[in-house]
Amino acid sequence: MSLSAPEALLEKLAAEHRLTETEYRRLIEARTPELASAAAGKADRVRREIYGNGVFLRGLIEISSICKNDCYYCGLRRSNAACERYRLSPREILDCAAEGYGLGFRTFVLQGGEDGYYTDEVLCPLVAELKAAYPDCAVTLSLGERGAESFARLREAGADRYLLRHETADRAHYEKLHPPEMSFTHRMDCLRALRELGYQVGCGFMVGSPFQTPAELAKDLVFIGDFRPDMCGIGPFIPHHDTPFRDEAAGSVELTLYLLSLIRLIHPPVLLPATTALGTLDPKGREKGILAGANVVMPNLSPVAVRKKYELYDNKICTGEESAQCLGCLTGRLRSIGFEPAAGRGDVKLI
């Protein structure tokens, strides 16, 4: 077998947890069902060695559909006049957390657009109250780019984790997906600031986004290997009908699953969600994500009345087994593939 053969590259990745950008590109371009199956098998073994058969559950609270940004791919973009806007009050967020705690969740993920209402003066007391009420829980924020001083204040208030998708590690590609006022450099600076402040940091990217090629995906994998995030969220791109990319084809579930496996091999302890986007494109997508190496799911704790309004992309599922209130359904689906909900906050295990 040639040293450049994809099977050999996969073996090298499993052993060394790192390839060159050229080798990643070769591995992506050479994907076959057989190679993807082999990658998933290796990723599953690595994940079980660290986390067993436990899958961490996060209670997702989508706090606002208001966003100052105009990202070309997002249904919440400020130019979308048809978007139904809403904003949860701190009291409503605390009520969601109370319900989630009763259901057994020990991590709350507050996610929203970049809504100017949520200043440090609003968020810091909210985070502090969540931590005081539920000291055995982790508070994760996913509220976009903020200044380093804001990140520091939120960390001091008790925030444990911050999720900020980098979307692409290629500057030119980033600029094709975002308006000129948004900066690739600033996005990366935010991630580094979060790391320096002691957060558990999450990044991530869309698979199959407009203009993306194996070259861009290879850069993403190099970035993940270098940055070593505590969490990494990837999912297939799904277009929204009120964005400039409305006519683009959706990303590939199969490629997303393959990349989940590769990311697990690159950074074995990473917390890796099986995302809602996978479940949107494939009814079994979440289970397939777990089998490919993921170990996190994030059921929706948002008030039922607003779930359909947080429409990042078309046909986003937000009820049924995506709902936090259907934990029995989710548990049954996990057990059907040999996994169990894991207790506790589900922190990354550093090795």
pLDDT digits (tens, 9 = 90+) for 258-284: 999 999 999 999 999 999 999 999 999
Q: What is the CA radius of gyration of the chain?
A: 19
Burial class (CB within 10 angstroms; exposed 0-12, middle 13-18, buried 19+) of 153: middle
**Average pLDDT of 3-28?**
94
pLDDT number for residue 349: 94
Rounded-to-integer distance, Cα 189 and Cα 304, Å: 35
Rounded-to-integer distance, Cα 282 and Cα 142, Å: 25
pLDDT number for residue 3: 46
Whether 33 is in a domain gets the answer: no
Q: Which domain holds residue 140?
A: 42-341
Whether 98 is in a domain gets the answer: yes
Confidence of residue 145 (pLDDT cuts 50, 70, 90): very high
Which pLDDT tens digit goes with each residue over 185-226? 999 999 999 999 999 999 999 999 999 999 999 999 999 999
Whether 238 is in a domain gets the answer: yes
What residues does 61 pair with on adjacent strands? 110
Structure-model confidence comparison of residues 318 and 225, the more confident one: 225
Whether 61 is in a domain gets the answer: yes
pLDDT number for residue 321: 56
CATH code at position 126? 3.20.20.70
Rounded-to-integer distance, Cα 286 and Cα 117, Å: 33
pLDDT number for residue 207: 98
The number of domains in the chain is 1
Residue 319 pLDDT more than 70? Answer: no
Whether 31 is in a domain gets the answer: no
Confidence of residue 96 (pLDDT cuts 50, 70, 90): very high
Whether 10 is in a domain gets the answer: no
Whether 25 is in a domain gets the answer: no
Whether 9 is in a domain gets the answer: no
pLDDT number for residue 350: 80
Residue 320 pLDDT more than 80? Answer: no
pLDDT number for residue 324: 64
